[in-house]
Structure formats: structure tokens, C-alpha cells
Homo-oligomer: A and B are copies of this chain.
Amino acid sequence: MKFIVRKEDLYNGIKIVERATSQKAVQPVLYNILIETIDNKIRLTATDLVLTVITTVDAQIEQAGKITLPAKKLNEIVSKLGNELVTFEMEEGGTSVNISCQKSKFDIIGISANEFPPEVYNYEIDETKCFDIELKPFLKAIRQAGFAAASYEVSNLLSGIVCDFSNGILEIASTDGNRLARVREKINSDITEQTQLIIPSRTLNEFMKMGSFIEDETIKVCKDKSTIVLKTEKTLTISRLLEGQFPKYNQLIPTESPKQAIVNVSQLIAALERVSVMVNDKTSIVKMLFADNELTLSADTPDSGKSEDKIDIQYTAEELLIAFNYKFVLDALRIIESDEIIIGLNASLSATVLKPNSEDDFICLIMPVQIR
């Protein structure tokens, strides 16, 4: 195997695929990136057996070959090279690759490509099962409505993000049972029939992080049995889908709230951050008292002390005391792209709605906690 590649191109490729390498692998080869020569390109693949990312990098191929190299060491080496041409060279049948760039030389010991799970990198896409969507609104929707997924095992449905693709509208939602986020985003797509997919949140989060390296305006979304493929010009993100009936979350969202407050987002974030100094670490409970155009926030921990803060809001309904895990409120506030939010309240133990005071069709539902 011998090929020559530009450092910058190779480094971008490594940064894209390394997100899929396993963090705690049963097989050592899953810590590695598979490198294969193909026509005028090299193909990089990494997988943890649930998520697989494949990308191609332009290269001058002198001799065909393939090998897997440890992702971490490879990244370290390539990141430190000068911004020049890099040569990779390996003897036929060997596992030690010589990497050279200007006066720098490395011999790095890999694992034979034959040990890399073949079902992963021989994946074939049935193009008839794909549809195109715009990338930017898709990424925005994931960022807005993907954060509320449960951080359980990947087998639990609530650890997934539900994506409802239809012509013109993309609906994305996630919930961990204590809170729920839903966004509806206008999107150009050539999809013909409505398709609901439950995608593991790790898959979409890693895809979102790769977003900055992807220049494509549209991507292909392909569903094949229990697998989803997100395909850009150079990169394939392949992931298992979660199967089952996702909770009918739209039924949970109150259609109207009897009490409404309009609140400045940055003032509420600052007040929550101050009050949270005295929050009980075990419960994270902050109490909120809505009354007379004022919101009073308070927290306390028995041996440590108490805190209280007030901000001016627009609220003329009946006085209401309600308590939340303040982290859920902060998560929602930090996602909202609006100066003001509307908080829709009902009673102390009713689901509370947060939505931007703007045209954005984003909603976050938070369950309050009981206080004595």
C-alpha cells in the first residue's frame, strides 16, 4: 500500500470518522480507523457496531492496499504534521505503516483490515429508498429538539430522537419522560410519503458535530429495514434505527395554557444561575413564584443556606407557586433562539410549556416537581 494525501484533507477525514470509533471496545480493532485505497481516493471507516461513519479523501494512489490504524494515535500524528503532502506506505501483507511528511517519519503498528467487521464497510445503499432534504434546517431541528432524549442504554426507545419527515415539514421530538422538546421546521424535500424514524440520539448528535465539516446543501436520507443512512457527497453515516411505538407525544402538549408569563430569556438564565448556587445537589429543585408581573426564584439546602432572586416579567394571572429541576429549565432556555419566551402555566403539578415569543415553531414541555 502506498498513497500520498494532503495533510489538511486527511485531518478533516479523520475528524469526521473518529467520532464513530468505540469508546469501550470489546474488539481492539473498533478503536481503529480502516483505511482503504480506492480510485484516486482513500476511504476511511470507523464503527462501534451501532454507528458507522465512512468518508473519502482525495489521494494519489501508488499501490493499492488497506489497513486499520489506532484512531487516537493517527489523529495525534496527523494533527502535528506540517500542512504539506503526507505519504503512507506499507509492505504487502504487513501491519506497520510508515507515515512521512517533510522531515517527520512515523512507523505506526495497525491491525489487519481483515479483522474489521466486514458487514460494516461493505454496506450497499438502495438508492430507491432515499429522499433528499436540506442540510441546514435538518441540523437546526436536531439541535433544538434532540436535547431532551433520555441518556439510557441505546436499546430504550426514549434514548432516540423521533424524526417525522413529510413534504415541506420536518417534525423532530425527544423526551425522557420528565421533559419533551418538539420542533417543526419548514424544509425542502422530495419525500413522497410521510416517514417516521426513531434515530439513536448518539447518531444525530455525532452527525450534528460533523456538520461543520460538511459543505453539502442537501443530504440523502435512506432507510433500509432497521438501518438509516445519512449520505452527503463524501460521507456516509450509517446507524441502527430504534424500533417500536414512540409515545404519542403530541397528545401530551396542552393546546392552551390558562396562565401565561412573558419572560426575558437572558434575565431568567442569569437569575437561575445565581439561585442554583444554593440548590440541593440531590434534587436540583428551584421554586418559582409567579405573581404581579414578578417572578421570584428560590432554592435551599439544609446545611448550606438559601437563595432568592426576583426578575420583572409580564404576568397578570392568579399567583402560582411551581417547582422545577432547574437544569431542565436552563437546557430549554439555552436552546431557544429568541429574546423572550412565553411560559404557559396551568397548576403546580401540570406540565408547563416554554416556547419562544417568535414565529419559531418550537415547544418545550417540562414536568414540575412536587414540593412540600
Contact = CB atoms under 8 A, between A and B. Distances in A.
Contacts of A270: 80
Nearest to A81: B274
**Copies of this subunit:** 2
Contact of A304 (B109, B278, B304, B311): B109
B273 A306 contact: no
A303 B80 contact: no
A6 to B, nearest CB: 18
A223 to B, nearest CB: 41
Interface residues of A, number: 29
A306 to B, nearest CB: 4
B307 A277 contact: no
Interface stretch (A98-106, A146-154, A178-186, A335-343): A98-106
Most buried by B among A70, A73, A104, A308: A104
Contacts of A58: none
Contact of A307 (B70, B105, B306): B105
B310 A80 contact: no
Contacts of A305: 73, 96, 106-109
Interface in A234-289: 270-271, 273-274, 277-278
A271 B82 CA distance: 10
A318 interface: no
A160 B193 CA distance: 74
A277 B76 contact: yes
Interface in A305-326: 305-311
Nearest to A77: B277
Contacts of A108: 278, 304-305
B96 A274 contact: no
A306 B103 contact: no
Interface in A73-101: 73, 76-77, 80-81, 96
Interface in A57-83: 70, 73, 76-77, 80-81
Contact of A306 (B106, B274, B310): B106
Given A109-B305, A303-B109, A104 B73 contact: no
Interface string A29-71: 0000000000000000000000000000000000000000010
A350 B105 CA distance: 28
19 contacts: A73-B278, A73-B305, A77-B274, A77-B277, A80-B273, A80-B277, A81-B274, A96-B305, A103-B309, A103-B310, A104-B274, A104-B307, A105-B308, A105-B309, A106-B277, A106-B278, A106-B306, A109-B304, A109-B305
